[in-house]
Amino acid sequence: MSSIRILIVEDHLLIAKDISIKLQNAGYEITDLAISGEVALQSIRLKTPDIILMDIDLDGDLDGVDTVREIQKTHPAIPIIYLTDHDDKRTFNRAKYTNPASFIPKPFNLRSMSNAIDLALFNASQQHSAAQAQAALSTSSSESNSNLYLLENCIFVRDRQTYQKVKINDILWIEAAGSYTNIITTHKVFNVAVSSNKFEERIQHPHLQRVHRTYIVNINHIKSMDNATVQMEISSSLLKFSIKQKSGIIPVGNHYRKEFFKRFSRI
């Protein structure tokens, strides 16, 4: 589990530092402050961000749009949020063909920045799977809020005012909690405002297997199993959280038993 990693590309260092402080205080991780397109490209080689905030009017050989085009040659899936301080139609027309997640006019506040990050995650999640996008759009209003996104082998979970990145491999199991879902990870429990059925529709991954109407387990974290239960790996750090199965013993429902055991080959 980790915070969302953001690269800030802004040639005015004071503005970049101000953005960085606000976002770090809000719980985001800043991978770097790049003052030019060239520096941004080098930074991405060292540490790949989840989102890029790009000044559209960078000084130097590469402006913001040129830099994004170069980035997309090797990292086409990273969401881009353009920062702009004037209304230049020509630059905007160039920028829109890079399919940015959002444009933010300067000056901006934390709320507008958080909304843009939310939109960036939403767009990237929609592009990741058209099938999951359709499922998300068809949910009820209480469950279609932006609380949960899947990107490659991780999900982004809303935790207070920010999103936390949770690797699929760090998920132990998922349990239904009424209209909410508890995501039990190796070190923390997240309570998400979406039912476990809708979670399963929206977050489909080969390592996650439903074994009971209440439980979905990560098969990579099964410690042992018999015909009726699976024993999940669990650390003492999780005992302080309110979860149903503090022992890590998850029941296997009759309706799901056959499909579950098909995942394992007899030797």
Structure token digits, residue 13: 């260092």
**Which tens digit of pLDDT belongs to each residue from 47-68?**
999 999 999 999 889 999 999 9
Backbone phi and psi for residue 39, each to the nearest 5 degrees, phi listed first: -65, -40
Tokens encoding 52: 């890029």
pLDDT class of 143 with cuts at 50, 70, 90? very low
Query: Mean pLDDT, to the nearest integer, of 5-10?
Result: 95
pLDDT at residue 109, as a whole number: 84
pLDDT at 112 over 90: no
Q: How far is CA 187 from the centre of its chain?
A: 17
What is 168-261's CATH number?
2.40.50.1020
pLDDT reported for residue 4: 86
Q: Provide CB contacts within 8 A for 201, sequence distance 6+.
A: 132, 135
pLDDT tops 90 at residue 199: no
Residue spans of the domains in the chain: they are 2-127, 168-261
Q: How many other CB atoms are there within 10 angstroms of residue 131's CB atom?
A: 10
Going by pLDDT thresholds of 50, 70 and 90, the confidence category of residue 224 is: very high
Phi-psi map region of 27: left, alpha, beta (phi>0 left; psi -120 to 50 alpha): left
| Chain length of the chain | 267
Q: Computed from CA positions of residues 156, 122, 98, 7, in that sequence, does the dihedral angle turn out positive or negative?
A: negative
> Residue 10 pLDDT more than 70?
yes
How confident is residue 247, by pLDDT bands cut at 50, 70 and 90?
A: confident
Cα gap 18→248, rounded to integer Å: 44
Pair 83, 106: CB distance under 8 Å:
yes
Residues 6 or more apart whose Cβ sits within 8 Å of residue 126: 132, 133, 136
CATH number, domain 2-127: 3.40.50.2300
Residue whose structure tokens are 């990107």:
151
pLDDT at 117 (0 to 100): 86
Total-model pTM: 0.60
